[in-house]
Homo-oligomer: A and B are copies of this chain.
């Protein structure tokens, strides 16, 4: 069992779900709302987790978390929370369920539209105490389990970032057993989310050497273990390392993210396309890395070292090949994004929290060019 506190208490081990009862007890939670999704119910993970919940704990279940959590879904879950007089949240699933769980917690003690609490609207200073959250990731992943950030699609259709230390889960229970059955496509996509977090966080101009160091370590793990996890889901060593890398990605992005995320948030807000955040990050990384190349000093030297690439190797090209090797799309066009969407997408980027910490803050025209490149012909 590895116990880590940066800044969340995190336990990572096969069988860690058995810590759930103690975690609930320590945080005085006896009537939790468990926020999860239908996939987690269907594949049996929910039953496994329910099996370790103590008898004196009353579980209320919200299992309708959408692929990208919406303010509407948060309201539905919060209603269930209040109706059942819940006293805490268990968030079980991928980033969507964990982010939804954080948003539910926020909404219990904070009124009004969720966009009021967006980072871009000074939300951080408005967010006070909120019910305790226990996070249990089933992907590897967003790393949302160890941080105080979340992403929600508002009722106005904007994908917005909310951040507060008061939304940091009281505990992250990271059990790689829950990922052994994660399908190849999701393994690849969520793994690339972790890679994008590590790379983008490392590249931001914000000074935070511990976060940067953690990001490079996470990056090395993803490069070493992701393809193994995709090729053989039962590879326990690979699954442990991917779970660790995912959490490290989120620890690293304490120093911010960049244009990969502003762009993937923009595309991910589209509720018709319903595209996966991790897949979008994977596909956007090469474009943004090319855009950033002249604005990062010698940081690409360190990236290559962490990734085991030769001196001067083309990192963007390597990622394109890697994406291909794990069957991710070659460009946004394959995913249904069209050139007609570029103007609106670019506008969405300009007010995204992550936009402001890209090594070079793009102009809207530069987003036009990047989207065009990422969509392909």
A214 surroundings in chain B (CB, below 8 A): 209-210, 213-214
A6 surroundings in chain B (CB, below 8 A): 5-7, 210-211, 251
Contact call B254/A208, Cβ cutoff below 8 A: no
A3 surroundings in chain B (CB, below 8 A): 208
Determine if A157 is an interface residue (Cβ-Cβ < 8 Å): no
A-B contact pairs, 11 of them (CB 8 A): A2-B206, A4-B210, A4-B254, A6-B210, A6-B211, A7-B7, A209-B214, A209-B221, A210-B217, A210-B248, A213-B214
A217 to B6, CA, bound (A): 16
Contact call A213/B208, Cβ cutoff below 8 A: no
Chain B proximity of A356: nearest CB distance (Å):
15
- Report which of B206, B209, B217 forms a contact with A209, defined as CB distance below 8 A: B217
A221 to B251, CA, bound (A): 21
Number of copies: 2
Chain B proximity of A1: nearest CB distance (Å):
8
A5 surroundings in chain B (CB, below 8 A): 6-7, 165, 254
| Interface-central residue, A165, A209, A244, A251, by most chain B CB under 10 Å | A209
Determine if A92 is an interface residue (Cβ-Cβ < 8 Å): no
A208 to B206, CA, bound (A): 24
A221 surroundings in chain B (CB, below 8 A): 209
Question: From A4, which residue of chain B is reached at the shortest CB distance?
Answer: B208
Chain B proximity of A223: nearest CB distance (Å):
14
Chain B proximity of A42: nearest CB distance (Å):
32
Chain B proximity of A3: nearest CB distance (Å):
7
Contact call B211/A4, Cβ cutoff below 8 A: yes
A213 surroundings in chain B (CB, below 8 A): 213-214, 216-217, 248
Question: From A212, which residue of chain B is reached at the shortest CB distance?
Answer: B217
A213 to B208, CA, bound (A): 13
Question: From A305, which residue of chain B is reached at the shortest CB distance?
Answer: B305
User: Which residues of chain A from 194 to 223 have a CB within 8 Å of any chain B CB?
Assistant: 206-214, 216-217, 221
Chain B proximity of A237: nearest CB distance (Å):
13
A211 surroundings in chain B (CB, below 8 A): 4, 6
- Return the CB mask of A67-89 against B: 1 if under 8 Å, else 0: 00000000000000000000000
A367 to B367, CA, bound (A): 63
